[in-house]
Amino acid sequence: MNNRENSNNENRTSKDEQLEEFRVHNDGKKMTTNQGLTVSEDEHSLKVGDRGPTLMEDFHFREKMTHFDHERIPERIVHARGFGAHGYFQVYESMKEYTRAKFLQDPSVQTPVFVRFSTVAGSRGSADTVRDVRGFATKFYTEEGNYDLVGNNMPVFFIQDAMKFPDFIHAVKPEPHNEIPQAQSAHDTFWDFVANNTESAHMVMWAMSDRSLPRSLRMMEGFGVHTFRFINEVGEAHFVKFHWKPTLGTHSLVWDETQKLAGKDPDFNRRDLWDAIDTGNYPEFELGIQIIKEDEEFNFDFDILDPTKLWPEELIPVRIIGKMTLNRNTDNFFAETEQIAFHPGHVVPGIDFTNDPLLQGRLFSYTDTQLSRLGGPNFHEIPINRPIVPVHNNQRDGMHRMTINPGQVSYHKNGIANNSPRPVPADQGGYEHYTEKVEGRKVRQRSESFKDHYSQAALFWNSMSDVEKQHIVSAFQFELGKVQSKEIRQNVVDMFANVDGDLAIRISDGLGTIPPEAKGSASTQSSPALSIMNTIHTPVTRKVAVLVGDGYQDEALTSVLQTLMEAGVQAEIVSPKLGYVTSDGVNRLEVKHSLLGADSVLFDAVLVAGGRQSVDNLLTEPKVIDFVKEAYQHFKPIGAIGEGAELLPKTEGPGIVTSEMNGDIQSFGKSLLEAITAHRHWSRTV
Ligand code: HDE
Q: What's the pLDDT at 517? A: 86
Q: What's the pLDDT at 16? A: 81
Q: What's the pLDDT at 518? A: 77
**418 is an active site residue:** no
How confident is residue 10, by pLDDT bands cut at 50, 70 and 90? low
Q: What's the pLDDT at 30? A: 95
Atom of ligand 1 nearest to the CA of 116: 11
Q: What pLDDT digit, counting tens, does each position of 403-439 carry?
A: 999 999 999 999 999 999 999 999 999 999 999 999 9
118 lines ligand 1 (CB under 6 A): yes
Query: Looking at the predicted structure, is the pLDDT value of residue 570 above 50?
Result: yes
Query: Looking at the predicted structure, is the pLDDT value of residue 253 above 60?
Result: yes
Q: What's the pLDDT at 61? A: 97
Is the four-CA dihedral 177, 178, 183, 185 of positive or negative sign?
negative
369 lines ligand 1 (CB under 6 A): yes
Collect all residues with Cβ–Cβ distance below 8 Å to 41 and sequence separation of at least 6: none
Q: Quick one: which of 634, 626, 637 has its CA closest to 571?
A: 637
How confident is residue 5, by pLDDT bands cut at 50, 70 and 90? very low
CA distances (Å), origin 271, targets 115, 143, 228, 360, 599: 15, 32, 33, 35, 15
Atom of ligand 1 nearest to the CA of 166: 41
Query: Looking at the predicted structure, is the pLDDT value of residue 6 above 50?
Result: no
Q: What pLDDT digit, counting tens, does each position of 67-107 carry?
A: 999 999 999 999 999 999 999 999 999 999 999 999 999 99
Percentage of the chain surpassing pLDDT 70?
Answer: 98
- Selecting among 2, 67, 86, 152, the annotated active-site residue is 152
Contact of 609 with 571, CB cutoff 8 Å: no
Atom of ligand 1 nearest to the CA of 364: 41
677 lines ligand 1 (CB under 6 A): no
Query: 3-class DSSP state for residue 431?
Result: coil
Q: If you average pLDDT over residues 586-600, what whole number do you get? A: 96
Query: Looking at the predicted structure, is the pLDDT value of residue 7 above 50?
Result: no
How confident is residue 64, by pLDDT bands cut at 50, 70 and 90? very high
- Selecting among 11, 34, 60, 79, the annotated active-site residue is 79
82 lines ligand 1 (CB under 6 A): yes
366 C-alpha to center of ligand 1: Å? 7
Q: If you average pLDDT over residues 288-303, what whole number do you get? A: 98
Residue nearest to atom 25 of ligand 1 (CA): 79
361 lines ligand 1 (CB under 6 A): yes
Q: What's the pLDDT at 491? A: 98
384 lines ligand 1 (CB under 6 A): no
Query: Looking at the predicted structure, is the pLDDT value of residue 11 above 80?
Result: no
365 C-alpha to center of ligand 1: Å? 8
Residue nearest to atom 24 of ligand 1 (CA): 151
78 C-alpha to center of ligand 1: Å? 7
Contact of 550 with 582, CB cutoff 8 Å: yes
369 C-alpha to center of ligand 1: Å? 10
Query: Looking at the predicted structure, is the pLDDT value of residue 249 above 90?
Result: yes
Distance CA 629, CA 325 (A): 37
Query: Looking at the predicted structure, is the pLDDT value of residue 453 above 80?
Result: yes
165 lines ligand 1 (CB under 6 A): yes
Q: What pLDDT digit, counting tens, does each position of 308-340 carry?
A: 999 999 999 999 999 999 999 999 999 999 999
Residue nearest to atom 7 of ligand 1 (CA): 366
Q: What's the pLDDT at 2? A: 39
Question: Residue 140 phi/psi, 5° resolution?
Answer: -95, 120
Contact of 221 with 153, CB cutoff 8 Å: yes
Atom of ligand 1 nearest to the CA of 361: 31
515 C-alpha to center of ligand 1: Å? 37
Q: Which residue has the higher pLDDT, 186 or 198?
A: 198
Residue nearest to atom 32 of ligand 1 (CA): 151
501 C-alpha to center of ligand 1: Å? 34
Question: Residue 93 phi/psi, 5° resolution?
Answer: -150, 160
The domains found in the chain, sorted by start residue, are 82-385 (2.40.180.10), 454-533 (1.20.1370.20), 537-677 (3.40.50.880)
Which of 73, 75, 77, 79 is the pocket-test mutation for ligand 1 (most atoms within 8 Å of CB)?
A: 79
Q: What pLDDT digit, counting tens, does each position of 350-401 carry?
A: 999 999 999 999 999 999 999 999 999 999 999 999 999 999 999 999 999 9
Q: CB-based burial of residue 178 (10 Å sphere; 0-12 exposed, 13-18 middle, 19+ buried)?
A: exposed
**Least confident segment among 7-21, 45-59, 159-173, 513-527:** 7-21
Distance CA 213, CA 468 (A): 12
Length of the chain as a residue count: 686
Q: If you average pLDDT over residues 241-270, what whole number do you get? A: 98
Q: If you average pLDDT over residues 638-656, what whole number do you get? A: 97
Q: What's the pLDDT at 336? A: 98
529 C-alpha to center of ligand 1: Å? 26
Q: What's the pLDDT at 12? A: 67
**332 is an active site residue:** no
Vertex 326: Cα angle to 260 and 378 (nearest 5): 100
Q: What pLDDT digit, counting tens, does each position of 190-218 carry?
A: 999 999 999 999 999 999 999 999 999 99
Atom of ligand 1 nearest to the CA of 165: 27
Distance CA 27, CA 358 (A): 52
Which of 362, 364, 379, 384 is the pocket-test mutation for ligand 1 (most atoms within 8 Å of CB)?
A: 362
Q: What's the pLDDT at 19? A: 79
120 C-alpha to center of ligand 1: Å? 9
Q: What's the pLDDT at 519? A: 78
Q: Quote the pTM value.
A: 0.96
137 lines ligand 1 (CB under 6 A): yes
